[in-house]
Amino acid sequence: MIKSKYYLGAIAALALFFVGCQQGANNSGKGALASSAAEKVYVAPGEQDEFYAFLSGGYSGNLTVYGLPSGRMFKEIPVFSQFPTSGYGYSEETKPMLNTSHGFIPWDDAHHPDISQTNGELDGRWIFINGNNTPRIARISLKTFETEEIIEIPNSAGNHSSSFITENTEYVVAGTRFSVPVPQRDMPINEYKSNFKGALSFISVEPEHGHMDIKFQLLMPGFNYDLSHPGRGKSHGWFFFTTYNTEEANSLMEVNSSQNDKDFIAAVNWKKIEEYVNNGGGTKMPTNYAHNLYDESTHTGTTTMKKEVLTVDPLDVPGAVFFLPTPKSPHGCDVDPTGQYIIGNGKLSADLTVHSFDKMIAAIDGKKYDGEAYGIPILKFEDVLAGTVKSGGLGPLHTEFDGKGNAYTTFFISSEVVKWKIGTWEVIDRKPTYYSVGHLMIPGGNSRKPFGKYVVAMNKITKDRYLPTGPEMEHSAQIYDISGDKMELIYDFPTHGEPHYAAGCPAELLAPKSQKIYRLDENKHPYAVTNPADARVERKGNEVHIYMSTIRSHFTPDNIEGIKVGDKVYFHITNHEQDFDVPHGFSMIGQNTSELLIMPGQTKTSIWEPKQVGVWPFYCTDFCSALHQEMQGYVRVSPASSNIKLSWSLGED
């Protein structure tokens, strides 16, 4: 008995030894891998990243700027949402940016950023992004990294197959996910079928300033237009849209819109329609939508309500629109760098359908139709099919390209990125994502010239990837090194909001031209003071305008008397600094709005309606210098009936 105890003890010791060894081996293996991955993503202090990555903020309404490969976040650019950090959407100058035909809207769901292109290559002038909920397209300057323009899209709802641009930035395209009555009217919902329309909007982009204008809206059958991408190279002049709900169901969509075995990819020859429109084609329809434009010299946005839009019935332009049957409610619609292949990511299947542009043209030329839908010819599936990627994954959503003949597709249901070869359609590699990946992004991965070094996978579910922060947590992204044959997971970082798509480009395309300051001598804001001697206070009835200047570290003026309860006080503040990265902030006690953050040379305006008698302080919110704490002032508020004279001063007793 005693003996057997020893034996057992020895066996246990031996078992522990082996377990220990195995653990040791595991750790060292992981350690070696981790250290090589660490070297790949490590950007030493003071060093800069190789790529910019612009990740959409989804329901944050904004756009976030990251560096690759470090995954460091540099900035959140306010686009569709009020942003108290800078006062965007709160300041008098930026409130108009959020105007729509429904009035002021403080939020949207920002989806698909796309960088402007010339000859199919990224040119780094602007980045566009769509607001999904109240259909809008925004243009952001890549010199100032600020939103410069937002245009509302009429006759649209769920602006999802947007904001993708043609290869010379001729158009930014916005397609509707929900079909709706066009024009909107009071009618029974269940009369959807054949009554609703799906508007695909082609918004022209003026080449010098980027100003947007809706050139025409193509009124398509009432399907759901999910995603889109432009043709490029040989297919330049075409645009491709995935559709689902070709069943035209209006209720319990998750079942009822998934019944057809095949939906369509709509191929739109926009050059043909453009020609038709330029020759006077199309119908002008009365409507109402907002066009908001920010002027950099006045630092002010203005809203213009537009009352008309040009619509085009696809049947009026024969040969302009065709349907390519595509299996299983395709989601992403991606075009390879050569423009030859159009990939339909059938989100309810395991396979990817790849259509051939050449075959499509041949089928169109041969008029080999397989019937029609609402008068639009349907091409035969077999005639346009280039190949099928048998992936073994489940739920393909989006595809990007590395420019070396490979494609990378995300699989939402099976949580993985699959690398496959264009032409042979064979799967080369697959790597798990954490978890349930949506979009992915290779810098330039949807252009003629991708920079195929990294792919960023943007995941919908985070779970255990980071320290837990309660039920709500940020989403997660993974960076893979794709420079070798096999993908290598090298980094994991949290993202802000819910990134849908992203766009990336080499750092040298943007960094050298990133603006450092606004020039005070170019400030044309009507309430700017370019010389502190001009700082003053003016009363117009119960409106009081304070023309204030700031420089390290004081406001001019900083003592103001003669304000009365019931006044509407406008603080027009001009930052006189002309030094890089020296903003000044402004906040007033009891003000029913956000602070202002004013960049060097900029003027911003904030309203305060004092409700209580007293002496109320204001201060600078940005730690601007060693004397920041001293950067403050007082406003004396007297009773409405008071006759205290308006006066202001700085440095006087």
Partner 1 sequence: MKKASLIMMIGPLFLLGLYTFPLWTIMLGAPQYPDPLGINIHIDGIRDVNEFDIQNIDGLNHYIGMKTLPKPEEMWEFSTFPMVIGVMIVLGVVTGLLGYLKKVNYKWFIGWFVLMSVLGILGMYDFNAWMVDYGTNLDPNAIMKLANPDGTPMTYKPPLFGHTKMLNFDVTSLPATGAWLMFTGMMLTLFAGFIGWKNRKTISVSKT
CB of 557: closest distance to partner 1 in angstroms? 18
Query: Would you count residue 2 as binding partner 1 (CB under 8 A)?
Result: no
Give the residue among 413, 244, 267 at the shortest CA–CA distance from 331.
244
- Choose one: 372-380, 539-547, 571-579, 586-594; the region binding partner 1 (CB under 8 A): 571-579
Tell me which of 626, 641, 645, 653 binds partner 1, using CB under 8 A: 626
Rounded CA gap, 579 and 264, in Å?
55
Q: Determine, following the binding rule CB under 8 A, whether residue 622 of this chain makes contact with partner 1.
A: no
Examine residue 628 and tell whether it contacts partner 1 (CB under 8 A): no
Tokens 């490590």: give the residue: 42
Comparison of 295 and 630: residue with beta carbon closer to partner 1:
630
* Residue nearer to partner 1 on the CB measure, 189 or 626: 626
Residue 120 exposure: Cα atoms within 13 Å on the Cβ side: 21
Distances (CA, A) of 358 to 126, 165, 363: 32, 22, 9
Q: Is 79 in the site for partner 1 (CB under 8 A)?
A: no
Smallest distance, partner 1 to C-beta of residue 48, A:
12
If the CB atoms of residues 1 and 626 are measured against partner 1, the closer one turns out to be 626
Q: Minimum CB separation from partner 1 for residue 64, in Å?
A: 25
Cα 504 to chain centroid distance, Å, stands at 12
Q: Which is nearer to partner 1, 427 or 517 (CB)?
A: 517
* 411 CB-contact burial (10 Å; exposed 0-12 / middle 13-18 / buried 19+): buried
The amino acid at residue 481 is D
Find the binder of partner 1 among 627, 639, 644, 647 (CB under 8 A): 627
Contact yes or no for 101/290 (Cβ under 8 A):
yes
Stretch that binds partner 1, among 93-101, 475-483, 559-567, 572-580 (CB under 8 A): 572-580
The answer to the question of residue 49 lying near partner 1 (CB under 8 A) is no
Count of residues interacting with partner 1 (CB under 8 A): 10
46 in helix, strand or coil? coil
Question: Which residue, chain included where needed, has tokens 């990134």?
Answer: 499
577 belongs to the binding site for partner 1 (CB under 8 A)? yes
Instruction: For the segment 507-546, give every residue that binds partner 1 (CB under 8 A).
Output: 517
Tokens of 177: 């996910």
For 39-45, the CB contacts below 8 A with 24+ separation are: 40/69, 40/481, 40/488, 40/490, 40/491, 41/69, 41/70, 41/71, 41/479, 41/490, 41/491, 42/70, 43/67, 43/69, 43/70, 43/72
> Greatest CA span in the chain, whole angstroms?
107
Q: Which stretch binds partner 1 (CB under 8 A): 34-42, 485-493, 574-582, 637-645?
A: 574-582
Query: In terms of CB distance, is 538 or 579 closer to partner 1?
Result: 579
Q: How far is the CB of 579 from partner 1 (least distance, A)?
A: 5
Under the binding rule (CB under 8 A), the answer on residue 579 touching partner 1 is yes
> How many Å is the Cα radius of gyration of the chain?
29
Q: Give me the least distance between CB of 394 and partner 1, in Å please.
A: 50
Let me know: does 127 contact 282? Beta carbons within 8 Å.
Answer: no
The mark string for 580-619 relative to partner 1 (x by CB under 8 A, - otherwise) is x---------------------------------------
Give whichever of 156 and 549 is closer to partner 1, judged by the CB atom. 549
Binds partner 1 (CB under 8 A): choice among 380, 421, 539, 552: 552
Q: Measured at the alpha carbon of residue 308, what is the angle toward residues 305 and 313, in degrees to the nearest 5?
A: 145
Shortest Cβ distance from residue 552 to partner 1 (Å)?
6
Decide: 52 and 502 in contact? Cβ < 8 Å: no
206 binds partner 1 (CB under 8 A): no
Shortest approach of partner 1 to residue 584 CB, angstroms? 13
Residues making contact with partner 1 (CB under 8 A) = 517, 551-552, 577-580, 625-627
